[in-house]
């Protein structure tokens, strides 16, 4: 028996009763609870299939940890597993967790669209990185809590002491160093202000720490270029490294540390954009024949399969994606 087959034995099966429960949920939601999306083409669904395939491979690894977050990992694993077709409309259920690549793609798109105009209105902007010394997993939660508190205090100090109100968006990120078994929590910001105001923010940040914990050299300030918001709103942690390695326990440590904390936070009067992904969504599509059927996700086909054995998107994973998925599952 392969390692993947052994893992399948420990996974909660998506059996017929689960499918029926999902269909009941899809069919009993009222129109006020269902979000109807504009017509979606096949390329978007193929991109979603890729995200779903990689997301399932990641959650395969995460559920083995027996983490306190396991119920959220299961929700991510089952996200969008069942699509009900009504005519040329697909109805799906979304998990709205941070651990799901399908929902994170939607969340990122919402943030980019929602904050585009407020960021444009700021005018001249800087892209800022505020960081501190890396820490072990046991200290990550309290370090992030203090970082959030320190940043809020910095903004209050700027306004109270210097009469400066900075406007912008703050994004939390955390990277893992497998060689040192440490975590590097840091903030990325896009903020408007004069050079002096931005440098003052940096100085206030450094004043919160000793020179051993945070150094001026480690902080970064540069002019925000067009497209900087794309960099800002990328996912808050790399679930896999550039060479395809995954560290489930480290990833779980990050997820536990950020539970209940906002990873994107506007400041200076910019209105918060909701990160929530609507649980039930309807999408009109132009790539399926009109009819009524149920499509179920298949990890074997990396696509949704109808009860008649048809594939929904005809997504063909390239060799790099296949290699990545197989490496994650090892």
Sign of CA dihedral 222, 223, 226, 232: positive
Domain count, the chain: 2
Whether residues 137 and 235 fall in one domain: yes
User: Are 182 and 84 in a shared domain?
Assistant: no
Looking at the fold, whether 136 and 251 belong to one and the same domain comes out as: yes
Q: pLDDT per residue over 266-319, tens digit each?
A: 999 999 999 899 888 999 998 999 999 999 999 999 999 998 999 999 999 999
* In a shared domain, residues 205 and 252: yes
User: Using the 8-state DSSP alphabet, how is residue 272 labeled?
Assistant: P
Beta-carbon neighbour count of residue 326 at 10 Å? 12
Range of the domain at 75: 3-96+278-329
Q: Are residues 257 and 163 in the same domain?
A: yes
Last residue of a domain, one of 267, 292, 317: 267
Residues 239 and 309 in one domain: no
Same domain, 47 and 74: yes
Looking at the domain assignment, is residue 166 inside a domain?
Answer: yes
The pLDDT of residue 330 is: 78
In a domain, 64, yes or no: yes
64: exposed, middle or buried (Cβ count in 10 Å: 0-12, 13-18, 19+): middle
User: 289: which DSSP letter?
Assistant: -
- pLDDT by residue (tens digit) across 215-256? 999 999 999 988 888 888 886 677 887 677 899 999 999 999
């Amino acid at each position: 028996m392969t390692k993947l087959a052994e893992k399948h034995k420990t996974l909660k099966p998506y059996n017929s009763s689960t499918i029926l429960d999902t269909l009941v949920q899809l069919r009993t939601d009222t129109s006020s609870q269902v979000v109807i999306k504009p017509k979606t083409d096949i390329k978007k669904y193929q991109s979603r299939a890729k995200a779903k395939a990689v997301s399932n491979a990641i959650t395969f690894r995460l559920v083995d940890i027996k983490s306190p977050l396991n119920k959220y990992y299961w929700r991510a694993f089952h996200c969008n597993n069942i699509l009900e077709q009504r005519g040329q409309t697909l109805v799906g259920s979304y998990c709205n967790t941070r651990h799901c690549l399908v929902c994170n793609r939607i969340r990122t798109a919402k943030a980019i669209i929602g904050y585009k105009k407020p960021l444009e209105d700021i005018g001249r902007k800087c892209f800022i990185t505020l960081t501190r010394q890396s820490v072990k997993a046991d200290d990550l939660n309290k370090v992030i809590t203090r970082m959030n508190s320190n940043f809020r205090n910095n903004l209050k100090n700027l306004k109270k002491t210097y009469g400066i109100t900075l406007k912008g968006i703050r994004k939390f990120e955390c990277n893992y160093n497998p060689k040192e078994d440490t975590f590097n929590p840091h903030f990325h910001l896009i903020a408007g202000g004069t050079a002096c105001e931005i440098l003052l923010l940096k100085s206030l940040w450094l004043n919160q720490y000793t020179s051993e914990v945070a150094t001026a050299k480690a902080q970064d300030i540069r002019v925000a270029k067009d497209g900087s918001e794309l960099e800002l709103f990328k996912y808050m942690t790399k679930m896999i490294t550039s060479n395809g390695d995954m560290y489930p326990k480290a990833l779980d440590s990050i997820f536990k540390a950020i539970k209940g904390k906002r990873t994107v936070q506007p400041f200076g009067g910019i209105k918060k954009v909701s990160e929530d992904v609507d649980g039930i969504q309807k999408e009109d599509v132009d790539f399926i024949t009109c009819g009524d059927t149920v499509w179920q996700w298949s990890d074997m086909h990396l696509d949704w399969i109808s009860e008649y054995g048809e594939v929904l998107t005809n997504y063909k994973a390239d060799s790099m994606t296949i290699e990545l998925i197989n490496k994650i599952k090892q």
